[in-house]
Amino acid sequence: MKNSSIYLRFIQLVKVLESAQPLAALAPIEHQLLEIIAIANTKQERLSVKDLMADSEVASPATIHKHIHAIVDKGWIYLAPTEDARRKQLMLTDATMKHFDKLGVAITKAISHKKK
């Protein structure tokens, strides 16, 4: 199986997962922001709303702020308090981590399908 076939199989598996996803669907910009937040969380880096708005090239600070609250409302992330009551740290929810686990399984299935 060619690498393109592996990728296409992965896309098919992701579509199946997304159709059964208990969390609300994300807009493209929300998906980009979620990826940034997830990478920071994986590296155990602190990422606040202010940090994301200041460092992001995804959109304007106002647009980022609006979409962060949409992602929170959809259940993908939550805002954790910090020492400074004015700052909130962006954290992934358990449901998001379960979804990422399922995506990891989909990648494994797509790759293992190649070996057959």
The model's confidence at residue 91, banded by pLDDT at 50, 70 and 90, is very high
Domains of the chain and any CATH numbers: 3-113 (1.10.10.10)
The CA radius of gyration of the chain, in Å to the nearest whole number, is 16
d(CA 9, CA 42): 26
Task: Please compute the mean of the pLDDT values over residues 1-14 and round it to a whole number.
Answer: 78
At residue 53, what is the residue type? M
d(CA 101, CA 82): 27
d(CA 6, CA 114): 7
Which one has a higher pLDDT value, 2 or 54?
A: 54
Query: Taking the model in full, what pTM does it have?
Result: 0.80
**Mean residue pLDDT across the chain:** 86
Q: Is 44 left (phi over 0), alpha (psi -120 to 50) or beta?
A: left
pLDDT over 90 (residue 39): yes
* 49-60 pLDDT, tens digit each: 999 988 778 899
Write down the pLDDT at residue 110. Answer: 77
Q: Are 92 and 37 in contact (CB under 8 A)?
A: yes
